[in-house]
Structure 1
Amino acid sequence: MTLRPPSTRILAPDQGLIILNCSREKLVTSAPVAALDLYQGACVPQARDHFAADPSRRARIRILSAAHGLLRPEKAISTYDHRLTNRVDAVRLHERTVSGQLDAELAETPSLRHLLIVVEPLYLLALQRVFDHLDRFDQIAVIPDPWGWWDGLTYLHQWGWA
């Protein structure tokens, strides 16, 4: 779903944000590791590989975790097992964690205008705060499939990030 026509210009890193679903497949480790390295499933590995040589755009990835909310790629976390399984838990995650994290993200990056969300539908409920700020965005692309990296590349090409 795209709310506005796609942009054809090259976006500066602070103009775009990518939100990815966490995954059940995780690196097995006893020590905390960077969130982008912890998750081994869904489209996180493709994003990690795609932005490996581009730290400024890699920093514009957030991972939506059922246990931690929105994680920055470098945030050190330990292996855990927690999944959203119902609407009540998704709304609770939004209210307790994600809403405030999104507000902080928007305040920290006033130039943010393009958003790519690649998460399963239940996790999208935890991101409902995004839709309170529609007037701020030129483009919000939602891919309701945590394995939808290839669909997401279409938008990254439009942004000049692929």
Structure 2
Amino acid sequence: MAAELAVADGLVVVACCKEKRVTAAPLPALDLYEGWVVPLIRDRVTERSGLRARVLVLSALYGLLTADAPVSTYEQPMTEERARVLAGRAPSVLRRHLARFPSSEVLLLMEAPYAEVLGTVPVTRTRLITDPMDRHSDIHSVLDSWSWP
């Protein structure tokens, strides 16, 4: 069996979280969130704009965002109504992002209601981790296999 090739073109989509920096001015989405596994992802791509472009954040308020999209502190849980609204927009945002940054693998770090918002992800391989707080080693393993720092 041949060794699996590194995926330098992977994409991470991480869900937002309640823990956010409190700020008067907008921050890049990946820098706003302080909880969940966002800090783990942020630490892996810090100061690497090429990799930051391969990270999306799914916000219950703003929808699917690039890592550097400016956002302000907010409070919006993912309700069924918000999920329905976002499900009407997020898949097309994801497709446009994939057209700009083609990826063969996507790592989704989110609970099921967030993943449902994205619908079917149009890539060769999608990995969904719904309990990322308990699976840091699995996340690192995927990112390591992609040769991410």
Runs of at least 5 residues in structure 1 that lack an aligned partner in the other structure: 1-6
User: Does 2:38 align with 1:51?
Assistant: no
Q: Does 1:93 align with 2:86?
A: yes
- Does the 8 A contact of 1:20 with 1:146 survive in 2? no
Deviation at 1:53, TM superposition (A): 4.3
The amino acid that maps onto 1:10 is A
SS at match of 2:142: helix
Is this contact kept in 2: 1:59–1:72, CA < 8 A?
Answer: yes
Task: Give the Cα separation in 1 of the matches to 2:30 and 2:47.
Answer: 14
Q: Which amino acid aligns with 1:103?
A: R
Aligned counterpart in structure 1 of residue 141 of structure 2, from 136, 139, 154: 154
* Cα deviation code 1:82-137 (max 9, x no counterpart): 01133x43132111x2022012112223x31111001011111111141xx3xx41
Deviations 1:22-54 (Å, cap 9, x if unpaired)?
011000011111111100010011111122143
Instruction: Tell me the percent identity.
Output: 34
1:9 aligns with 2:5: yes
Question: Which residue matches 2:103?
Answer: 112
Q: Tell whether the 8 Å contact from 2:108 to 2:126 is kept in structure 1 after alignment.
A: yes
- From 65, 72, 81, the counterpart of 2:66: 72
Equivalent position to 1:23, from 13, 17, 31: 17
Count, aligned residues? 146
Amino acid at match of 1:157: D
* Superposition RMSD in Å: 1.8
Aligned partners of 2:23 and 2:71: how far apart in 1?
10
- Structure 1 residue ranges, 4+ long, deviating more than 4 angstroms after superposition: none
Which has the bigger relative contact order, CA under 8 A and spacing at least 6?
Answer: 1
Determine if contact 2:44/2:148 at 8 Å carries over to the other structure.
no
CA-to-partner distance for each residue in 1:40-73, whole Å, 9 max, x for gaps? 0100111111221433112211011011111111
In 2, Cα distance between equivalents of 1:64 and 1:33: 15
